[in-house]
Structure 1
Amino acid sequence: MLAALVASIAFVVVSYFGPLWAVDTIDVTGNAAVTREQVVEALQVVEGTPLPRVDTDGAASRVAAIPKVATVRVQRVYPATVRVTVEERIPVVFFDAPDGTHLMDVDAVDFAVEPPPPGVVRLVAASPSFGNLETRSALAVLTSLPAPLRSQVAQIDAPTISAVSLTLYDGRVVVWGSNDDNEYKASVALPLLTQPGQTYDVSSPDLPTIR
């Protein structure tokens, strides 16, 4: 009995401090804009570290600090692998600032200064930021749009939370108003856009107008 207990303790000690389950592989998945090298550097897990000693929560927190990372999961995979699963931030809008073009995700996180990918909508607001109400209103409208309408939008303006408007790639403007009744407004806007006009006002969707 005592011998078995001693053997068990010895096994635990060797596993925790010794080379039995030493990390020899770091597997990174889900990354595209973020390089594997960036993830491994932030992870701060040295190959050869006994796998049971890897602090997965701490490692995940460090990787999550990379601006382009939205979520991350770090797992120990026995016998010798640390698996890192990354979900990157996806740009929904971009806005221009003195230091360049900023990319912003659906949660209003400003996470990169670089040229926007194709299809990302320009945001025009006084102070685009995480805590800015106009920014939040614009994102609420944009993310609610059905694909046939969303694909036509080149720019979204939000001078106030109740004065959102969409500029389409062909130059036409959809006056949206507040971010209330978005689904209803979209159902009105789509057939309205099949008619001639330049400005389509669905801010009062029961009484839409075309000018």
Structure 2
Amino acid sequence: MSPAGRSPRPTARGGSRRTATHRGARSAAARAATRSRRTTDTTAAEPGGRAGRSARRSARRGGARSSAASRSGAGRARLPRLGLQVGSRQKMALTVAVVLVVVLGAVAWFSPLLSVRSVQVEGAQVLTAEEVTAALDVADGTPLLQVDLTEAAGRVAMLPRAARVTVDRHFPSDLRVLVEERVPVVYVDKADGPHLLDATGVDFAAAVPPPGVPRLVTERPGRSDPVTTAALTVITSLPAPVRAQVTLVNPGSAADVRFTLGADRVVVWGTPDNLGRKAQVLAAVLTQPGKVYDVSSPDLPTIS
């Protein structure tokens, strides 16, 4: 057959070229994928790789957190135990202290080693130690802590001459009684003889008045009498040199206090007020001769 009559055949070269090209592309892609997997595997497997380093850092941070948490947990576990131990010690110490206080208190309350063996009396001038001790009425051997000091002082204060009384314990075995006696300011004559009155008008003794104590003349002498109170207020306000000369106090009323100096000099004082001013004026006018010195109006004193 002539060449012109043959059917053309596909060119084997052109088809082979296309097939080879397609296969080459697949092979290249496969090789690239293999290289990529190897690179990824190698990178992941390498100790110095980024993933390795990140993993190690994460592991270190996790380990540090775990260690810190463990230490914190252990510390929290120890703290309650420590608190319990301290609390137990404090409770034990408090219990021991309470027991000691109770024991010592019982010993002091009942022990004969801390009991009354002597009574010391101080301040008494006229009252005797025997009178004070008898009024105190505390038996020898009484535990000091069982002595009611207020009641004991009250019993001694019942003595008429006692103005103030204080009772103290002196360990291990003494009671001290401090007595302030009443001081006579005036005396009054009564049916059974002279009676002594102190600055408050208390009639505390039927006795001979000491030297220098003036006589008070009034209808109802006593603490509740206004005339007596006014007279005593004036007498106790006088300067010592003038007061020492007073021999008689004979107020006509609470507003008309009079007293006599020596034998015959009379002072008209008036009301028991302006005490300091009247005392100054009286000291001045007493330097003048006279029988009656009226300072009831201290700005206009008179001498007659």
Q: TM-score, normalised to structure 1's length?
A: 0.95
Q: Distance in 1 between matches of 2:139 and 2:149?
A: 13
Which of 1 and 2 has greater Rg?
Answer: 2
In the alignment, which of 96, 107, 111 is matched to residue 200 of structure 2?
Answer: 107
How far has the Cα of 1:106 moved from its partner? Answer: 0.8
Q: Distance in 2 between matches of 1:152 and 1:191?
A: 15
1:92-122 deviation line (CA, Å, top 9, x unaligned): 1111111211101111111001000011121
1:180 aligns with 2:273: yes
Q: Distance in 2 between matches of 1:195 and 1:40?
A: 53
Asked whether the 8 Å contact 2:252–2:258 carries over to 1, the reply is no
Task: Note closer, same or farther for the CA distance 1:148–1:4 as it changes in structure 2 (3 Å cut).
Answer: closer
Q: Which amino acid aligns with 1:25?
A: S
Asked whether the 8 Å contact 1:15–1:21 carries over to 2, the reply is yes
Q: Identity percentage over the alignment?
A: 49
How far has the Cα of 1:148 moved from its partner? Answer: 2.1
1:168 aligns with 2:223: no
> Gaps spanning 5+ residues in structure 1: where?
none
Question: SS state of the match for residue 20, structure 1?
Answer: helix
Question: SS state of the match for residue 138, structure 1?
Answer: helix
In the alignment, which of 192, 216, 220 is matched to residue 123 of structure 1?
Answer: 216
Q: TM-score, normalised to structure 2's length?
A: 0.66
1:147-195 deviation line (CA, Å, top 9, x unaligned): 1211211111112011111101131111111111121111111121121
Q: Which amino acid aligns with 1:96?
A: D
Corresponding residue of 2:248: 155
1:41-69 deviation line (CA, Å, top 9, x unaligned): 01011111111111111100000110000
Q: Distance in 2 between matches of 1:18 and 1:150?
A: 55
Q: Distance in 2 between matches of 1:203 and 1:26?
A: 51
Question: SS state of the match for residue 96, structure 1?
Answer: strand
Task: Single out whichever of 150-159 and 128-137 deviates more from structure 2.
Answer: 150-159
> Gaps spanning 5+ residues in structure 2: where?
1-91
Aligned residue runs from structure 1 range 36-185, under 5 A = 36-185=129-278
Q: Distance in 2 between matches of 1:4 and 1:136?
A: 58
Structure number with higher relative contact order (C-alpha < 8 Å, ≥ 6 residues apart): 1
How far has the Cα of 1:7 moved from its partner? Answer: 5.2
Q: Which has the higher strand share?
A: 1
How far has the Cα of 1:28 moved from its partner? Answer: 0.7
